[in-house]
Amino acid sequence: MSFVLVAPILIPLLAAAVTALFWNHPYIQRPIGLVASAALLGVALNLLVRTSDGTILVTQMGNWAAPFGISLVIDLFSAIMLVITGLMALAVSVYAMGPASIERDRAGFQPLFHSLILGVCGSFSTGDIFNLYVWFEVMLIASFGLLVLERTREQLDGGIRYVVLNLIGTTMFLLAVGLLYGLTGTLNFADLARVAPAVENKGALAAVGMLLLIAFGAKAALFPLFNWLPAAYHTASMPVAAIFAALLTKVGVYAIIRVFTLVFAHEAGFFGPIFLVVAVATMVTGVLGAAMHYDIRKILSFHIISQIGYMLVGVALMTPLAIAGSILYIVHHIIVKANLFLLAGAIRQETGSFALRRIGGLWAIKPLLGVMFLIPALSLAGIPPLSGFWGKLVVIRSGLEAEAYWLAGIALAVGVLTLYSMIKIWNEAFWKSAPEGDAAALPWTARERLATYAPIIVLGGLTITIGLLTEPFAVISIQAAESLLDRQAYIAAVLGPDAPRLAEIQP
Amino acid sequence: MGTVFIVMVGTLTAASIYMFLARDLPRVLIGFVLLGTAANLAIFAAGRVGSMVPPLVEPGAQALAAHASNPLPQALILTAIVIGFGLTAFALMLVVKAYGAFATISIEEVDEAEPHRAEPQPETLAPAARQKQEAA
């Protein structure tokens, strides 16, 4: 029982340790990495099955009773996130065997990659806010290393901006944790949820909430804290950019949803309007940034920001449907966005450049690549019957039901602008004739080609599956949303049915 | 005692923000160290400051003495110090590498990742439109 709960943390930890031992042997590292990613996906699926009936799995580390030790808590939302993490780890592990993999592996890609997955899985599993901080740091230091893996001048510059802004965000998190502990005397999420509504100093608690919002917002690239993302993501190598785009910002979104549905749920009247404004501003600035760029990686980076806005609508409205929409959107977005970054790498391999001005004519020579691009691109823009349509539909419908008509209107308009950016890539890379110039296809072996295209095809297939077979995904999202809003069940699961009210808990 | 901590945290935070506004990277890093210290002191102050009673359960007793000092903030701070040390060390190495690559420590003089110079293209027309015009 408890082993399954620890497994999503142990598997990447072991993989990171073992691949670090074989530092200079990429051919030994790769199968280990693949097996670890596949095992992670398997364990996560097992957890999803166990939690799908609404059970909340809890284990106490070192058998310390709940509010004192570190609890690992996996509910349906966590399990969904773990499954998607396992899937992305597997897809990127395969993709990373593509072009330039030897140099990347020799620079230490494998151990850092699995450390990153370790941090992400830990963040999704923990039930303790200080422990969440520690997992954030694990993730952060691994992402620093991954970002500057090739040590090019471009990466050093992007890396500095990324590192400095994230360091400030993470210190804000630490400060907020300290203040929260001072106000409530506890760090356990369930205990915080129980104690927080009774805190007398409402103003100080709201200030802590704002600090947490800033810290998680910097991680999730919310308006106006997103500047590090477009400055850094496009410099990373493609497998790294894909796993960053898929998981890093979503950990911030996960933390926001977890903390603001659990600990600050009683303050929803105060935080709701703030989230609403931030969500809309994030959607709009992201999509406008994407509209002005002519580099595939930069367009995709800005679209990450824009899409984060949709995921925030759930915490802004706090209705079961809105949160279900956020969860469905996160699942759809992770698959689609990672796939688009993988495709960007493939496009570069086929044409020799990421710059849209230098490339073209792909439709004539690689029509299948065009189809593979269109699936996630149209899904991102929300064209039916692909997965993005259903994600947007639920988000917009929850906005209409909550009578936030302007929110729904802006969400629709942003969808149109997203379509504009995707059509821009399509027109430039696939449709127009290839410009004369220096850009030419890079050489690669059949094996590298297979490693590149296999994950793209699988993720594209998943996008279509979610689009055509939405029912189970929607049902599970709604179930997860209802379980997120049922705070008493979470508290009872972690602390036990008759949680002791400790007088001496206030510091 | 509490007032001293408040003033220290406030001063350190103000100093760190001043350092963050600097253009050169070593100063920004010092700012990060100061901000980390401010956060650690805030955690310390949020616990229970001033008690000199060790947090040990007396023989035969079931719980701590009422005014025992609080060991938890110190454990948290210890963790945070170690993490902060690692992050600072990495960031410092990155700055050294960047100095080697760019021969400057001023972030304003570096624009590798996001070049300020526009690409050598006429800016008014999108490439597809320009191509069409050239063809016509």
**Are A137 and B87 within 8 A, CB to CB?**
yes
- Are the C-beta atoms of residues A376 and A316 closer than 8 Å to each other? no
Q: Enumerate the β-bridge partners of residue B53.
A: B68
**Are B131 and A504 within 8 A, CB to CB?**
no
What Rg, from alpha-carbon coordinates, does chain B have?
A: 26
Distance in angstroms between the alpha carbons of the first and the last residue of chain A: 34
- Min Cα distance B31 → chain A (Å) is 9
* A146, A152, A160: best to mutate for the B interface, most B CBs within 10 A: A160
**Are B42 and A137 within 8 A, CB to CB?**
no
User: What interface predicted TM-score (ipTM) does this complex get?
Assistant: 0.86
**Are A181 and B119 within 8 A, CB to CB?**
no
Share in percent of chain B as helix, strand, coil (round to 5): 60, 5, 35
B65 has a pLDDT exceeding 70: yes
**Are B46 and A167 within 8 A, CB to CB?**
no
Q: Which of residues 39-68 of B touch A (CB under 8 A)?
A: 39-40, 42-43, 45-48, 63-64, 66
Task: List domains and CATH numbers for chain B.
Answer: 1-51+70-108 (1.10.287.3510)
- Alpha helices by DSSP H, listed for A352-386, are 362-365, 367-381
- Min Cα distance B1 → chain A (Å) is 15
Q: Which of residues 124-183 of A touch B (CB under 8 A)?
A: 130, 133-134, 137, 140-141, 144-145, 148, 151, 153-161, 163-164, 167-168, 170-171, 174-175, 177-179, 181-183
**Are A427 and B128 within 8 A, CB to CB?**
yes
- Min Cα distance B89 → chain A (Å) is 11
Phi, psi of B116 (to 5 degrees): -75, -30
Residue A442 DSSP one-character state:
P
Sequence-separated (6 or more) residues with CB below 8 Å from residue B5: B41, B42, B44, B45, B49
- Answer with the residue of higher pLDDT: B136 or A29: A29
Instruction: Kindly state the percentage of chain B with pLDDT values over 90.
Output: 38
Residue B69 confidence (pLDDT): 80
Residue A149 DSSP one-character state:
T
In this complex, which of A163, A232, A355 lies closest to B94 when CB atoms are compared?
Answer: A163
Nearest Cα residue to A309 out of A233, A412, A240: A412
Single-letter amino acid code for the residue at B10: G
* A112, A171, A186, A294: best to mutate for the B interface, most B CBs within 10 A: A171
In this complex, which of A175, A235, A357 lies closest to B42 when CB atoms are compared?
Answer: A175
Phi, psi of A244 (to 5 degrees): -65, -50
For residue B2, with 0-12 CB atoms within 10 Å meaning exposed, 13-18 middle and 19 or more buried, which class applies?
A: exposed
Place of tokens 């790498």: A345
**Which chain A residue has the Cα nearest residue B44?**
A178
Residue B124 confidence (pLDDT): 46
Q: Place B135 in a pLDDT band, splitting at 50, 70 and 90.
A: low
Q: Enumerate the β-bridge partners of residue B106.
A: B24
Q: Which residues of chain A have pLDDT under 70?
A: 1, 437-439, 498-507
Q: Which residues of B touch A507 (CB under 8 A)?
A: 46-48, 70, 72-73
Map residue A60 onto helix, strand or coil. Answer: strand
* B93, B108, B112: best to mutate for the A interface, most A CBs within 10 A: B112
Which tokens hold the place of A46? 């097992």
**Are A151 and B97 within 8 A, CB to CB?**
yes
For residue A393, with 0-12 CB atoms within 10 Å meaning exposed, 13-18 middle and 19 or more buried, which class applies?
A: middle
Residue A1 confidence (pLDDT): 53
Q: Which residues of A touch B101 (CB under 8 A)?
A: 153, 156
CA atoms of B44 and B4, how far apart (whole Å): 12
The structure's pTM equals: 0.92
Sequence-separated (6 or more) residues with CB below 8 Å from residue A317: A272, A276, A398, A399, A402, A404
- Min Cα distance B90 → chain A (Å) is 8
- Are the C-beta atoms of residues A1 and A59 closer than 8 Å to each other? yes
**Are B73 and A231 within 8 A, CB to CB?**
no
Residue A339 confidence (pLDDT): 94
Which tens digit of pLDDT belongs to each residue from B106-115? 887 887 777 7
Q: Which residues of A touch B64 (CB under 8 A)?
A: 504
B103-118 burial by CB neighbour count: b if 16+ within 10 A, else e? eebebeebebbbeeee
Which tokens hold the place of A389? 């349509």
For residue A461, with 0-12 CB atoms within 10 Å meaning exposed, 13-18 middle and 19 or more buried, which class applies?
A: exposed
Q: Mean pLDDT in chain B?
A: 82
CA atoms of A109 and A94, how far apart (whole Å): 13
Q: How far is CA A276 from CA A214, A272, A280, A404, B57, in A?
A: 15, 6, 6, 9, 49
B133 has a pLDDT exceeding 60: no
In this complex, which of A130, A161, A170 lies closest to B76 when CB atoms are compared?
Answer: A130
CA atoms of A273 and A469, how far apart (whole Å): 34
Q: Which residues of A touch B110 (CB under 8 A)?
A: 157, 160
* B40, B72, B82, B93: best to mutate for the A interface, most A CBs within 10 A: B72
Residue A213 confidence (pLDDT): 94
